[in-house]
Structure 1
Amino acid sequence: MNKSFTRCNQKIDIKHTVCFDYYFTAIRHLGRGGAAVRADAVASDDVYEDDTTTVLHPRLTYDSTLLGLDGALLLPDRAIVPAIAPQRHRFLLKAANQSLPLCFDVTGSLHLKLLEDPSRALSVNGELHSAAGGFKKIVIHHKKLHRIQISPTEITVREAHTGRIITEKLNTTSGHDMTSGSVTMIWTDKEIDVSDGHTRMVILLHEKAGGKFLWPVLRTRPSGDNIEGLLALQPAVYEEVQQVPSPKLKIKDQEIDVTRASAMDYNFDLAPAQVCWLMTAESALQRQLQDFTLQQS
């Protein structure tokens, strides 16, 4: 039995008001007896098991259950795949003169410039994870001779002058090490310590809801005045200028609307929650976010 609804706010019989322009097929819900359902409108691997009177298609999102007069559940003849919201990544920026850090959100699986030291031909870039809360991979370029790619499961080194590729799995619970040129990597099941003798970075391995991701922490900052990247940002300097009716901070003579929020501090193994002042990325960085984004890592 097919029914169509083509006007917004049209009543579906006596039960609900909708705003759709799709054709729906009535598919009976399962009762406590587990009666079979028509599956011609859904994928064969969709399972409907519910001992109540409400069955929802697991791949669709409904604001409410759509029922006909006979108690049948109305589902689309064509599967409508809902848009998946991009992953939101929240970054913390330490404050130099206040107890609360700043925080800002970056959305999507962007490639970010983490660290760049032109004097030593060193750059560190990261690709944000599309599902988890941190980085999917971190790539280190060193003197155009070595490309080191680190993921939660392995380290891959590509030597430009020989074309050789070396891969080491990170599936050991004991310590292990690897050297590429002047870059040394020592890792355990919790972190990867990367150093070239002038710059030291620890990449923490985190896990959230079954998904593993990376989070880099700069331990030794390279010397020089032309160091760039998110890891090279200096602590923020701000003052609180208003709390009521809404909080405002002042940064470099600019008043900024903020919200008191929280963020997971992935700089630590246990990732504690940290209260912070939430603002736009541009306000926190005092630069455009695109200054820190790349086409690829």
Structure 2
Amino acid sequence: MAIERDPIGAIGAGRMGRGIAIAFAAAGHPVMLFDLKPRAAGALAALEADARGEIGRDLGFLASVGAIDRAGADAAMARIGFFGCDAAPAALPGAAILFEGVPETLDAKRDCYALLSEHVADDAIIASTTSTIAPDLLAPMVARPERFLNAHWLNPAYLMPLVELSPAAATTDETVARLRAVLTAIGKIPVVCKGAGYIVPRIQALAMNEAARMWEEGVASAEDIDTAIRVGFGLRFAVLGLLEFIDWGGGDILHHASAFLSEHVDAHRFAAPPVIGRNMAEERRGLRDGAGFYDYAGVDVGAYRDGRLNDFVAMLRQRELMPNFRSGGD
């Protein structure tokens, strides 16, 4: 018996909307891809052809790497409908969840939400894919703001597992739970965060700006900076989260490194937050103290370390970076 899956609306037929459409259609959901900009019939047809062409190529790629079979890719494509602004009012009530991906201006968002508020079902979830605008600025634009939140996908949306959910003050727990459940069911990994900037963009902006500064200051070439990220920074943090990594090595390492960099490079950029000093004072420096950002009481530390190291070895082998010590260096 076929499982009935919620119809999904993707508002905006650009890269993000197309990626979200693939993610849900490949998982069996009927998807409505909307373009709400008034266009002449010819221009609308050209946009639909371009969207379907890109979606078809991406589904073909997924088939080529074994993520979906050819029949599944064809079925996913068949589940995606395309609707221009004239057809949208009749189609919008059929969507249980709508992901808004219109341009990143308040005026564009306001116009979009006015249309959605008029036509979508009362119990439909409305989620903005904005990467910059705080949810509390957008929620008042939506009728029944308790069903609104931000849902930040990472490109390419059909491949990247993470979706960052940022509820507004008015968002109900039920709304967050419903969206988490639907995303989890299609293989995504949702996390919940508060405030502007989400988790990944805030950390990413700091890292990218620092890389640009190092190049500007002549610390290293662009090639060497990026090599260091690919075979050093990136590899480690694909296995250990940042806070987990602090606990792994010891919070005292970050405490002293921050003090040195603050003194010798830039006090503003490298000052540690107060929690690092508090953890030092309370002897919550991580694994060796049994507590840090995580509580390790009852954890088999040896097994935990072995598990993470095995994950790291698997990644090194996949990237063909695993050292080969052969006969002990002889």
Question: Do they superpose with TM above 0.5?
Answer: no
TM value normalised by structure 1:
0.24
Which has the bigger relative contact order, CA under 8 A and spacing at least 6? 1
Which structure is larger by alpha-carbon Rg, 1 or 2? 1
Which structure carries more strand by proportion? 1
TM value normalised by structure 2:
0.22
